[in-house]
A and B are shown apart, each in its own frame.
Chain A
Amino acid sequence: MGLSAREKRALDGIADRLYVEDPLLAETLSSFATGAVTAEPLPVRRSPFPGVLIPVALLAAIMAIMAVVLPPISGSTAEVAPSPTHALTRG
């Protein structure tokens, strides 16, 4: 089971303090944690429900369609009437 962000922070705090108070011991202990980390599993606090991933896939599909179908607009004075000075950046 993965650690929560708060638990990770607490452990990091302990590790930092140990480095300050006893660097030799900290280095010795850190040698046990060597090795490449390829992928960190997300902390799972509830049983996963695949249904919630459907909206994510749907969203990606809609965005892909928008990206392909919508005609490009220049965003300059030609197609969007006012100049950027007046309207494009902020209300």
Chain B
Amino acid sequence: MGDSFGDRPRGRTAAENAAAEEAVIRDRAAEEIAEEHGKLGLPAAISLIVGNIVGTGVFLLPASLAAYGTVSLLAMALVSVGAIALAVVFGRLGARLPAGGGPYAYAKDAFGEFSGFWNAWSFWLTAWIGNAAIAVVWVNYVNYFLRWESPAAQIALALVALWIPALINLSGVRNIGAFAVVTTVLKFIPLLFVAVVGLFFMRGANFGPFVATGGSWIAALSTAGALALFIYSGVESVTIVAERVRDPARNIGRASVYGVLICAAMYMLSTVAIFGTVPHEALANSTAPFADAINGMFGGSVGGGIMAACAIVSGIGAINGWTMLVAEMPMAAARDGLFPSVFAARSRRGVPWFGIVAGTALTSLVVFYNYLGSEGGFDRILLIATFTTVIPYFFSACAQLFWLVTGARRVEGVRLGRDLTVTAVAILFAFWMTYGAGTQAIFVGFLMLLVGIPVYIWTKAKRGEYGPADEVPGRSTMEEEK
């Protein structure tokens, strides 16, 4: 009994001590409330997912799909089913293991720390390389208004697209969430408008043939599916920032599923509406299908400006969300000693500043390369991100399967059958995505995965570890001595 009393300051009365303890408890409660207040609620979490999924590619998607005929609507429906299954799996994983890093944490938990590292490495590549693709397309939309065609001017615009979101990220999680909500709402208004109002302007003759390529419908379905497979990239967003989400066990699952359902509804409705309002031949050759749909509905040429503005908001919103992920994933790995420790450093505002700055700097280099290097080289870099996107999906879905078929599961009977079915669909979807990435992307992406192995060795060697971290005796002692 004496030890606890011995910790108290001498010369205080019992009442003063009680008051001091109460003040400490109040301070802690206030800190916890403040901390919770700075986290992402359900609307912000949904906005993060929707904002990251819907970037700039969506604005060209109907034209790309039209080239294959209306069979592409079926392909998109199949892809949507796979993405929803993946969202459900991420929701289950997030509820069971609401740890930062999402796919990294799931792979590490199920298959060990090297798998975890590989997922973190893979996702990190995806995040900062993918941002370069968004930035370059974003510049094209900005130039709809500005017409700044010189490489220097385009580089300057791209840097604006990258570093404004980086500054927002450095300013704290609340600002990231607020920016995500605002940009998601702003981008969704015109898209939803086309998706809903367009349905009233549809004509059956505009839809064109079921298969427009002349070959078999299965081949057209397969190719159109491969084209649409990546439109849901970002479904994992909230799982990666699990520690920044209020009530993660509940909200990660809800945000993942609601976010994907919102995107699926928007994708399907808008594509059907545009297929029905823009004649097939014109749509297949269109460079601005949403604008053409608006112009077709109401006449004039105002649609182009509206959709360019929408794409600008959408692009910068997506970069904001992905910049958050580009830092959060390595931070989670760095805390476990599986990424360079500097990635775990947080600023006074509680954000992983090094990850944000380093990721944005690397993206900036890729952007420079796009405007000053060869176009083929830039596309080759982007192919890396195509393949590395899939790795975390595949491992995460397999981690869920692993959990379900071993004794650790908490579901049985019908619920087990349901969860197994959903997980199997998610795994097959991720496998299909891998296939859809294509031989070139798999080739260059796999080489970049191999590059990660020396990085893993370096981080382990720096910590004096050989083998799994939790089997190295006296690790904590060594760390404290440092």
Question: Measuring CB to CB, which residues of chain A are less than 8 angstroms from any residue of chain B?
Answer: 5, 8, 12, 16-17, 19-20, 23, 26-27, 30, 37, 42-48, 52-53, 55-56, 58-59, 62-63, 66-67, 70, 72-76, 79-91
List 7 A-B pairs, minimum CB-CB distance, nearest first.
A75-B438, A91-B231, A16-B476, A44-B407, A84-B382, A19-B477, A90-B233
Whether B223 contacts A56 by the Cβ 8 Å rule is no
* Per-residue contact bits, chain B 121-134, to A (CB 8 Å; 1 contact, 0 not): 00000100110011
Which A residues touch B383, using CB under 8 A? 75-76, 84, 88
Q: Which of A63, A79, A82, A87 contacts B438 (CB 8 A)?
A: A79
Whether B55 contacts A81 by the Cβ 8 Å rule is no
Q: Which of B441, B471, B480 contacts A88 (CB 8 A)?
A: B441
Q: Which of A19, A45, A52, A83 contacts B405 (CB 8 A)?
A: A52
Q: Residue B61 at the A interface, CB < 8 A?
A: yes
The chain A residue with its CB closest to the CB of B52 is A90
Q: Residue B401 at the A interface, CB < 8 A?
A: yes
A–B Cβ pairs within 8 angstroms, 24 of them: A12-B470, A20-B476, A27-B473, A46-B409, A59-B427, A63-B427, A70-B435, A73-B435, A73-B438, A75-B437, A76-B440, A80-B226, A80-B438, A81-B67, A82-B227, A84-B133, A84-B382, A85-B378, A86-B57, A88-B386, A89-B382, A91-B54, A91-B58, A91-B232
Q: Which of B130, B379, B439 contacts A83 (CB 8 A)?
A: B379
Whether A66 contacts B408 by the Cβ 8 Å rule is no
The chain B residue with its CB closest to the CB of A30 is B473
Which B residues touch A52, using CB under 8 A? 404-405, 416, 420
* Most A Cβ at <10 Å: residue of B67, B126, B435: B435
Kindly state the separation between the CA atoms of A72 and B223 in the bound complex, as whole angstroms: 11
Whether A80 contacts B227 by the Cβ 8 Å rule is yes
Which A residues touch B133, using CB under 8 A? 84-85, 89-90
Whether A42 contacts B407 by the Cβ 8 Å rule is yes
With both chains docked as a complex, state the minimum distance between the C-beta of B439 and any C-beta of chain A, in angstroms.
Answer: 5
Q: Residue B230 at the A interface, CB < 8 A?
A: yes
Which B residues touch A30, using CB under 8 A? 473
* Most B Cβ at <10 Å: residue of A26, A43, A56: A56
Q: Which of B134, B222, B416 contacts A90 (CB 8 A)?
A: B134
Whether A45 contacts B57 by the Cβ 8 Å rule is no
Kindly state the separation between the CA atoms of A63 and B230 in the bound complex, as whole angstroms: 19
With both chains docked as a complex, state the minimum distance between the C-beta of A49 and any C-beta of chain B, in angstroms.
Answer: 8
Which A residues touch B130, using CB under 8 A? 89-90
Kindly state the separation between the CA atoms of A55 and B480 in the bound complex, as whole angstroms: 47
**Docked complex: B365-417 residues within 8 A CB-CB of A:** 378-379, 382-383, 385-386, 389, 401, 404-409, 412, 416
Q: Residue B137 at the A interface, CB < 8 A?
A: yes
